[in-house]
Chain A
Amino acid sequence: MPTDDPRSTSTASRTPAPPAVLEAISLSKHYGSGPSRFDALSDVSVRIAAGECVAIVGKSGSGKSTLMHLLALLDEPSQGEVRIHGTDARSLSGRALNRLRNREFGFVFQQFFLNAQQSVLDNVTLPLTIAGQRRRARRDRALDVLGSLGLADKAAAKAVTLSGGQKQRTVIARALAGSPSVIFADEPTGNLDSATGAIVEDMLFALHRDQGITLVIVTHDDDLAARCDRQIVLRDGRIVSDSASPALEEVAR
C-alpha cells in the first residue's frame, strides 16, 4: 500500500541508532492498597525502536496486558513514565493524548470489538470519523485498506455476517485505516483456528515488513512470539527476559 508518511522510511535507516517510538522507564502499576494491594507491574523498563516487531509474552496474570495498556496510553502507571517519540506522556493534555492515540496507534483485539450491526465499511472508518475526516475521504481510505486486505467485496456487509478470520481482518483494516506508526495487537489470533490465525499473522508481519509499522504483540502463543524480532517475557509483573538484552536473560536463569 502506498504511503507518503515519512515514518515508513525509518526502516531503511534502522541500523545506526534507531529512534525510540515507545519508551517505558521504571513502570509500576498496582491496584488497591494496604493488604489487598496487587502489583500488576513492578519497575519495568522497555525501549521499543521504530520499526521493531516485539512480542510481549507471559502467562495470564503476568502483567503483559497491563504493560501493553500503559504503552498504548490507555491507562496511567502508578509510578514511572512512558515516552512517545521522546515526549513524556504525562506532559500531554487529554486532547493531545486523544490525538496521539488516534494518529499514531492502531489496535487489534482478540475479541474484535466490531459493531455487529454496522457495515464493515463503517467499522473500518471509525478511527477516521473520530479524527474528523470528511465522509468522502474516509470512505476512499477505508476501501483502499479493505482492498489491500482482500475484503473489498465485504465493505457493505454487516460485521455480524463475517467469519472469524474476516472479522479479524476487518479489525486489522480498522487499525490500519489511520496510517498508524504502531499497531498494538492483544492476542490477535486467540479466537481463530490455526489456519485462519496463520493468515492473520502473515498479514500483520507483512505490514511490519512492507510499511515499517512497529508491532507490539501481546501473546501467550510461543509460535507467534517466535516470529517476532524480539521477545519480552514477563512473570509476576517483572521482565524475566528480553531477547534484545541477553544479559537480563542470563540473570533470570
Chain B
Amino acid sequence: MRTIDVTRMAVANTFRSKLRTTLTVLALFVGAFTLTITTALGAGVSNYIETQVNAFAADDVLLVQAQTDLTLEAESEGPAEWDPETSTSSNSQAGGAPLAGAQAEPLTDDDLDVIRGIDGIDGIDPVRAVSTDWVSHGSSGRFEFSVNPQSAVTVADLEAGEQLDQGASRFEIVLPNDYLDALGFDTATDAVGAEVEIGMTDITGETHELVAEVVGVSRSSLFASGAGANNALVTELASLRTAGIDGADENSTVAIAYLESGLTATEIDQVTADLGDAGFSAQTIEDQLGIVTTVIAGITGVLNAFAIVALIAAAFGIVNTLLMSVQERTREIGLMKAMGMSSGRIFALFSLEAVTIGVIGSLIGVGAAVLVGSGLGSALAAGPLADLEGLSLFLFEPLSLLGVVVLISAIAFASGALPASRAARQRPIESLRYE
C-alpha cells in the first residue's frame, strides 16, 4: 500500500466519528493553546529584558557593596538588638540605586582602598547620592525630576540624540521621553540640544539651580529609572548636595568598580571571589538582571508544566479514542489483513490517525493562541503596560510555534502507538469470525 493512500485513509478515518474526534481535538487544543501562550509570554518578557540588559551596561563594570551579615538576623526572631559595635544606621540609601540590595553597610574610604587594591580592578567610584527636585524648560513650569546615579555605567535605550559623554565638562542629561510633552517639546528630536533648568535642595535646605543640555531622549526602561546625567553633572549635583560639609557623602552603599579591560569570564569570577574574601559582594549588571530572568523563566516553567499536564490528559484521550476506534473496526482490520495489508501498514494507519488528531488539535490551538495573544498583547500595550515601551508581551517565534505542533504531534503519535500495535497484532481470522 502506498504511503499517500495510508495517509489519505488515516485522515478520512479521523473524521469518521466526528464527535469523538472533536472531543479529543478539544483536549489537545487546550494543551496547545496554553503551551503556545505561556511560551510566547516567556519569550516576550525574556526578550524585552534581554534588550534592556543589552541596552544597559558595559561589561567591564562590577557593582560592589559590603556583604550583609545575615547570620545576625537569622538568630533572633524579632528585631535585632542594637549594638554599638556592629549596628550602623545604614537605612539611608544612595539616591535611587534601583539595582542595589536593600540594606547594605555604607562603604568607607578604607573599603574603597581595599577594593582598589584587588587585582583586576582598575578604579572604583562610589555611587554618589544625588537628589534633584524639579526640571523645567523655558516657561513650561517645574516638574518633579530625579537623576539615576548609576547612569554613568548604563547605556540608555535612546529614542533620539546621543549617549552621554562621560568625559565632557559641560552638564549633559538624557531625558526620559515621558517629559517631552510636559516640557513643551513636540518630538524627541526637538528636545535634543535644548537646555533645561534643574532645581535641587542641599542638605542644609538651600536651593540651587543648574542648566544642562539634553543630549538624548530615552525610552522608558524597566531598570534605568530617572534621567541620565554625565559625570560632570553627577559630581556637581553631589557636591552641591553635601553643601561643603565633610562626611555627609560617606553613606554611599554601592560603588562601581571598573575592571581592567580584556578580562576573561574566569578572571572576572576570580575578581568577584577576591572581593568576596575581602568582605564585599560584587555582581556584574548581567548577574543582577539574571535574577529577574531566572524568576521569569521559573514562572514560565510553572505555566508550561500546567500545559504539559493538560497534554498528558489529552494523550489519554487519544489512547481512549483510538482504542475504541480499533475495537469498532476489528472487522475492517481483519478484512484488510486478509486482503494482504501488512501489520506495519495497519500500525501506520492507526498511528497516522493519532498524528492527524494531534496536528489538527495543535494547529487550532496554536492558531487561537496567536490570535488571542496578539489581541491581548496589543490591548495591554495600549493600556496598562503602555509605560513599558518596546515590550511585546507575547512573542510568537515561528520556530517555537512549530516546536509546539511537533511536540504535540509526537505526543499524539506516542499515544497512538498502543492502540495501533493492538490493531497491527490482530489476526485476520479472529477479526472475521462472526458465529
Binary contact track B344-388/A, C-beta < 8 Å → 1, others 0: 010000000000000000000000000000000000000000000
Contact of A130 among B1, B334, B434 (CB under 8 A): B1
A100 vs B2: C-alpha distance when bound (angstroms): 17
A103 vs B339: C-alpha distance when bound (angstroms): 9
The smallest C-beta distance from B190 to any residue of chain A, in angstroms, reads 70
User: Provided the pairs A74-B432, A111-B434 are in contact, do residues A102 and B340 lie with their beta carbons within 8 angstroms?
Assistant: yes
Interface-located stretch among A2-10, A81-89, A91-99, A194-202: A91-99
Cβ-based interface call for B296 (8 A): no
Cβ-based interface call for B207 (8 A): no
User: Provided the pairs A113-B331, A113-B332, A115-B332 are in contact, do residues A131 and B432 lie with their beta carbons within 8 angstroms?
Assistant: no
Count A/B pairs, Cβ under 8 Å: 61
Q: Which residues of B contact A109 (CB under 8 A)?
A: 432
Cβ-based interface call for B335 (8 A): yes
Contact of B340 among A69, A75, A99, A117 (CB under 8 A): A99
Cβ-based interface call for B80 (8 A): no
Contact of B339 among A60, A107, A117 (CB under 8 A): A107
Cβ-based interface call for B342 (8 A): yes
User: Provided the pairs A69-B429, A113-B432 are in contact, do residues A126 and B16 lie with their beta carbons within 8 angstroms?
Assistant: no
Say yes or no: B338 contacts A74, CB within 8 Å. yes
Say yes or no: B428 contacts A74, CB within 8 Å. yes
Chain A contact patch, size range: 20 to 34
Q: Which residues of B contact A42 (CB under 8 A)?
A: none
Cβ-based interface call for B305 (8 A): no
The smallest C-beta distance from A166 to any residue of chain B, in angstroms, reads 18
Cβ-based interface call for B336 (8 A): yes
Q: Which residues of A contact B16 (CB under 8 A)?
A: 117
A105 vs B341: C-alpha distance when bound (angstroms): 13
Q: Which residues of B contact A107 (CB under 8 A)?
A: 335, 338-339
Q: Which residues of B contact A75 (CB under 8 A)?
A: 427, 429
User: Provided the pairs A129-B5, A130-B341 are in contact, do residues A60 and B435 lie with their beta carbons within 8 angstroms?
Assistant: yes
In this complex, what residue of B is CB-closest to A72? B338
User: Provided the pairs A74-B432, A75-B429 are in contact, do residues A130 and B340 lie with their beta carbons within 8 angstroms?
Assistant: yes
User: Provided the pairs A109-B432, A113-B432, A132-B2 are in contact, do residues A126 and B340 lie with their beta carbons within 8 angstroms?
Assistant: no
Within 8 A of B (CB), among A46-80: 60, 69, 72, 74-75
Within 8 A of A (CB), among B401-435: 427-429, 432, 434-435
In this complex, what residue of A is CB-closest to B343? A94
User: Provided the pairs A111-B434, A113-B331 are in contact, do residues A130 and B428 lie with their beta carbons within 8 angstroms?
Assistant: no
Q: Which residues of B contact A98 (CB under 8 A)?
A: 340-342
Q: Which residues of A contact B9 (CB under 8 A)?
A: 129
Interface of A is mostly: helix
Q: Which residues of A contact B332 (CB under 8 A)?
A: 113, 115
A113 vs B332: C-alpha distance when bound (angstroms): 7
Cβ-based interface call for A127 (8 A): yes
User: Provided the pairs A60-B435, A102-B339, A102-B340 are in contact, do residues A129 and B1 lie with their beta carbons within 8 angstroms?
Assistant: yes
Say yes or no: B434 contacts A110, CB within 8 Å. yes
Q: Which residues of B contact A154 (CB under 8 A)?
A: none
Within 8 A of A (CB), among B1-38: 1-2, 5, 9, 16
A113 vs B434: C-alpha distance when bound (angstroms): 11
Say yes or no: A132 contacts B1, CB within 8 Å. yes
The smallest C-beta distance from A70 to any residue of chain B, in angstroms, reads 9
Q: Which residues of A contact B345 (CB under 8 A)?
A: 130
Q: Which residues of A contact B335 (CB under 8 A)?
A: 107, 113, 126
The smallest C-beta distance from B6 to any residue of chain A, in angstroms, reads 9
Q: Which residues of A contact B429 (CB under 8 A)?
A: 69, 74-75
The smallest C-beta distance from A184 to any residue of chain B, in angstroms, reads 9
A95 vs B340: C-alpha distance when bound (angstroms): 8
Q: Which residues of B contact A95 (CB under 8 A)?
A: 342
A127 vs B336: C-alpha distance when bound (angstroms): 8
Q: Which residues of A contact B343 (CB under 8 A)?
A: 94
Cβ-based interface call for A101 (8 A): yes
Q: Which residues of B contact A115 (CB under 8 A)?
A: 332
Q: Which residues of A contact B435 (CB under 8 A)?
A: 60
Say yes or no: B340 contacts A131, CB within 8 Å. yes
A75 vs B343: C-alpha distance when bound (angstroms): 15
Say yes or no: B339 contacts A126, CB within 8 Å. yes
User: Provided the pairs A94-B342, A98-B341, A98-B342 are in contact, do residues A130 and B432 lie with their beta carbons within 8 angstroms?
Assistant: no
Interface residues of B (CB under 8 A from A): 1-2, 5, 9, 16, 331-332, 334-336, 338-343, 345, 427-429, 432, 434-435
Contacts A/B (CB < 8 Å), 8 sampled: A72-B338, A101-B338, A102-B341, A107-B338, A113-B332, A130-B345, A131-B1, A132-B1
The 9 closest A-B pairs by CB, nearest first: A102-B340, A98-B340, A101-B340, A75-B429, A130-B341, A127-B339, A74-B429, A113-B335, A130-B1
Interface residues of A (CB under 8 A from B): 60, 69, 72, 74-75, 94-95, 97-103, 107, 109-111, 113, 115, 117, 126-127, 129-132, 134-135
In the complex, besides A107-B339, A134-B2, 17 extra interface pairs with C-beta distance below 8 angstroms are: A74-B428, A75-B427, A75-B429, A94-B342, A94-B343, A98-B341, A98-B342, A99-B340, A102-B339, A111-B331, A111-B434, A113-B335, A113-B432, A129-B5, A130-B336, A130-B340, A132-B2
